[in-house]
Structure 1
Amino acid sequence: MLATIDLRTTALSARRLREVLPRAEYDVEAAVAAVAPICDAVRDRGAAALLEYAERFDGVRPPSLRVPADVLQAALDGLDPDVRAALEVSIERARTVHAAQRREDVTTTVVPGGTVTERWVPVERVGLYVPGGRAVYPSSVVMNVVPAQLAGVGSLAVASPPQRENVGELAGYPHPTVLAACALLGVDEVWAMGGAQAVAGLAHGFTDLDGTECEPVSVVTGPGNVYVAAAKRRLEGLIGIDAEAGPTEIAVLADASADPEHVAADLISQAEHDPLAGSVLVTDSTELAEAVREAVARRAAATKHSERVTEALGGRQSAVVLVADLEQGLQVVDAYAAEHLEVVTEDAAGVAARVRNAGAIFVGPWSPVSLGDYAAGSNHVLPTGGSARHTGGLSVQSFLRGIHVVDYSEQALADVGRHVVALAQAEDLPAHGEAVTARTEPGEGRQ
């Protein structure tokens, strides 16, 4: 089921490693062409287009795009007590971790009379996307909403696809568990719209058929399918985005000390998401590799979503990568830059501390990715497709902007003025220098 890539006798550069390591085929650029007319239609026709796309793509027309307050409350009232307790724990732990991320304003005295302050200012309004395709993701409500709230964002709008399976007062609205999670977090603006059209609706704003306004947002965050990623790419600039999320992926860096049953269970846990999900084991132990293969085959056949799991584990995006030693293993996982990386080795903490590229790192046998998905306190909205080389996961910082505030006195400007003029002249921008000399030299422009 899992292909083998044997690198034990091969020394490869980072570029070559990226070429040989497994990765799903995921063409966002091709999807941009498909979503462009959808985004344009939502921009031009607003709610009418959104409702048409709900019928076309989700198979149901919501009674209204804005989810009424009584529907949110009904979803919360009907929530399974065990699920509610689990969500409350997830929220509490996420708040604990994310509260520590809030930055403080810092003022630096550059010279006497000259200061630069970095102010951290929250985005005024954000749109948070919660997918609703093969699975239900109330945990993604938590992961998006908590950091935005702790950043101090004043206006939050959640969008999630309408569900045709809903009945009664919930008919045509997003999944009740998603709605209940919103209610638990105090989010009262929820919109029944999914896919690329939801991103466009949040970006452009629109008026619902009953006159309810959805004001445009400044940032859209949250995972989704390739069409959601394509809409983010299409609309970036009009809005800020967290990332273009691709299929989920897990890499496990393990040695002979790892329990093959644990490793197999973790590889399957991510394969459960999507047939394009990537599950990669990197190990220097052929014995572990064979034991994991056996365990994966046995467990995959018995799991609920066996067909999906088997397709993912048999795809080009999943493999066992054999390495000569952990040193080479570290080179491989840094080149792969996994969304989720488990380090299950002797001295796992020491090995994990040397990793440079990963969305999130899970250390040792008792820190599975599933813990991070729900209740570790960390965020599960993470970079995929190797983008962990340059991008981090969703955090409070995702919703803050650093603004430099420059405050110089007359003397402080005079002291540095000649340097400003010299650089302005070097760049052939004399008016830049004159904006300083008009203040610092007697003559025209000074009273």
Structure 2
Amino acid sequence: MTQRLPQRRSLVTALPGPRSQALTTRRAAVVAAGVGSSVPVYAADADGGIILDVDGNSLIDLGSGIAVTGVGASHPAVAAAVAAQAARFTHTCFMVTPYEGYIQVAEELAALTPGDHAKRSALFNSGAEAVENAIKVARSVTGRGAVVAFDHAYHGRTNLTMALTAKASPYKSHFGPFTPEIYRMPMSYPYRDRPGLSGAQAAARAVELIERQIGADSVAAVIIEPIQGEGGFIVPAPGFLPALAQWAAAHGVVFIADEVQTGFARTGAWFASEHEGVVPDIVTMAKGIAGGMPLAAITGRAELLDAVHPGGLGGTYGGNPVACAAALATIDVMRTEDLPARARRIEQLALPRLRTLAKELDIIGDVRGRGAMLAVELVRPGGADPAPELAKAVAAEALARGVVILTCGSYGNVIRLLPPLVIGDELLSDGLDVLEQALCAGNHTGVKEN
């Protein structure tokens, strides 16, 4: 499709430019210091794979607002749907005066999520809300209290989801005490597991700990990201997810797939669970669902969600009509433009190139991912020790050259790539050129690690 903004990188000032610096000064006077930002530049416009900052710099977007703007930040179909719905009404509250858009979104989710069983959905505002409500359903239906999460997991910033999240800083430090009855099990992390540990063996390791430390009859739910996000874009070894799902089914445990970051074509399938044929009992969704509008959902087996008492699920803004209109337009764009295939094309373009680079640079410990959810794990030369300062330096160097990339990982040492699915091949190639230059600079100069 033709984009509004020229799809090319262009720098007219050093970064941050003077207007961004002025906004940073204004921000410091009124915005809480606890609200962080990854880059010190301020957006004025965004389209396709480009972010235009307030100083007129055109930056390549390899972050998509953390996997949100898969269809771009201003797709005309989404913008038109938002404007049309806003002109009719912005809110009535579905729990008071319901509307068709909410039902239409639920119909789409029933069709798109894995499995052909009868499904029900409930809509919310954020991924953390979706996770909270999935746990509520599991505990209500099973009558059990324990919830199993995994090392390196990220599930949100509310009290319950902080308890589920594995990384202390910045997400959990000083915010406890947290919700009880959360138990953490070892994840399948092929790069850092002992050599030769299969997915089935990693699952057996986790199951043995669950049964010994908690007891299967006490577990309400197992919740897992099919590909971990903030933890480092960790793709578990083949067989790990299916084995966990099978164990859960055998013991009456609700298997929850947190697809907040992996959903909606991001990994080359509508949902990452599909890559291994896993059919979750409940799927949590947000981020890419509505083209940048705040919307989240849980979709699960009808017998689970229908078992919750009326009024037990909901919220004032949950399934806002404008957000629902955006979601319907976003899903239509993903379907008609076949963005799952586009994500696979991005993988084909980027992953071999990054793996070739990994053979040349001793700071790259691992390259991994699926679709348009790819990662480079950086290490100290000569071993596998994490290099978080190097990851920060590479991201800063890429930004200085006009490319926005994000870092992540339990150790802070992972470069993550989340380009909009609509990014063009030429622009993606330019972004990868810059990343390669930044990595080569880091490999040549080195960064002292504390």
Structure showing greater Rg: 1
Instruction: Report the TM-score, using the length of structure 2 for normalisation.
Output: 0.26
More helix by share: 1
Instruction: Report the TM-score, using the length of structure 1 for normalisation.
Output: 0.26
